[in-house]
C-alpha cells in the first residue's frame, strides 16, 4: 500500500536576533506562505549558525538548521517537501541551503525548492515596483538611499540591476547600495550629490530591520550611514522597515513557492 501523502513547507531565512523585526518580517512571510499553502505543515529553519547559537544561549530559543528541519520533517512522516527561502538573492547562503536540502532529498518522495526574492529580470522589476510603491510619499527632491547587505558572490550584481531598474522606472531619486560590497555608501553619496538632494531618507534593503539597520544604517557611531551623511551636510530620516514588512514582497515569496510547485 502506498504511503499516505503528507506535505511539509520549510521556510528558510538567514535569521535575526532582534525579536521585534522578526515578528514583522520573517514571521509575517511564514504566515503568508502558510495561508497560501494551507494543506502543508509549516516548518522553520535559519542558515545563520551564529544567530541560532545566540538565541539559544541568550533566550533559550531553539531554531533548526536546514538539516535539522529536514530531519524533523522526515521523523514527522512528511513525504513531500516545499522549501521556500526568504533570502534576497542566490548568494552563498542560498547555495549552501540548496546543498543541505539536496543531501536529504532521498528521504522524501518529492522536494521542491523555490527561488529567492531576486532570481531574475522579472523579479527585479517586481521588487523595484514594490520599493517605489512603499516610498511613493517621498518628495522628488529628496533622495532615498537603500542599504543592501552585499556579498562577495557574483550574485551581488543584482543590486546594480535593481538600481538601474528604479532609474528606468523614473525614480532618479532612489539609490541602492550595500554595507559589505558594492555599490558602497561613498558611491551613493557621489550620486546623491550629483542629483542635488539636500534631504535623505535611509532604509534597509534587507528582509529584516536587524543589527545592520540598527547599527550600520541608523546607529549613532561615526561609521554609520546616518552619521556619514549628516557629516556631509544632509538632513537624514531613517525608516527602519524590513522588506518582509512590505505586503507586495510577501506576495512575491508566495509566487516563487507556487512556481516551484509547478515545475517540480
Give me the active site residues, please. 149
CA 85/CA 54 separation, integer angstroms: 21
CA 194/CA 113 separation, integer angstroms: 42
Contact 207, 26 (CB under 8 A): yes
Question: 110-113 and 80-85: which strand pairing?
Answer: parallel
CA 181/CA 178 separation, integer angstroms: 6
| Angle formed at CA 107 by CA 109 and CA 92, multiple of 5 degrees | 100
- The grid cell for 85 is 527561502
What are the residues facing 200 on neighbouring strands? 143, 236
Amino acid at each position: 500500500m502506498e504511503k499516505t501523502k503528507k506535505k511539509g513547507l520549510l521556510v528558510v531565512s538567514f535569521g535575526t536576533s532582534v525579536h521585534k523585526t522578526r515578528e514583522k518580517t520573517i514571521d509575517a512571510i511564514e504566515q503568508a506562505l502558510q495561508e497560501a499553502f494551507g494543506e502543508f505543515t509549516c516548518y522553520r529553519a535559519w542558515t545563520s549558525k551564529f544567530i541560532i547559537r545566540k538565541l539559544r544561549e541568550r533566550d533559550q530559543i531553539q531554531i533548526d538548521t536546514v538539516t535539522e528541519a529536514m530531519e524533523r520533517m522526515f521523523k514527522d512522516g512528511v513525504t513531500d517537501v516545499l522549501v521556500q527561502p526568504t533570502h534576497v538573492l542566490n548568494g552563498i547562503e542560498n547555495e549552501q541551503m540548496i546543498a543541505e536540502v539536496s543531501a536529504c532529498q532521498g528521504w522524501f518522495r518529492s522536494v521542491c525548492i523555490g527561488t529567492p526574492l531576486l532570481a531574475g529580470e522579472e523579479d527585479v522589476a517586481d521588487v523595484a515596483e514594490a520599493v517605489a510603491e512603499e516610498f511613493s510619499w517621498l518628495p522628488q527632491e529628496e533622495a532615498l538611499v537603500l542599504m543592501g547587505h552585499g556579498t562577495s558572490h557574483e550574485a551581488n550584481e543584482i543590486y546594480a540591476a535593481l538600481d538601474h531598474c528604479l532609474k528606468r522606472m523614473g525614480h532618479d531619486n532612489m539609490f541602492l547600495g550595500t554595507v559589505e560590497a558594492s555599490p558602497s555608501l561613498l558611491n551613493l553619496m557621489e550620486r546623491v550629490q550629483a542629483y542635488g538632494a539636500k534631504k535623505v531618507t535611509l532604509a534597509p534593503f534587507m528582509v529584516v530591520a536587524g543589527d545592520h539597520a540598527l547599527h550600520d544604517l541608523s546607529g549613532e557611531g561615526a561609521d554609520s550611514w546616518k552619521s556619514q551623511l549628516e557629516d556631509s551636510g544632509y538632513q537624514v530620516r531613517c525608516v527602519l522597515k524590513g522588506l518582509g514588512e512590505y505586503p507586495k514582497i510577501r506576495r512575491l515569496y508566495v509566487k516563487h513557492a507556487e512556481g516551484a510547485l509547478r515545475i517540480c
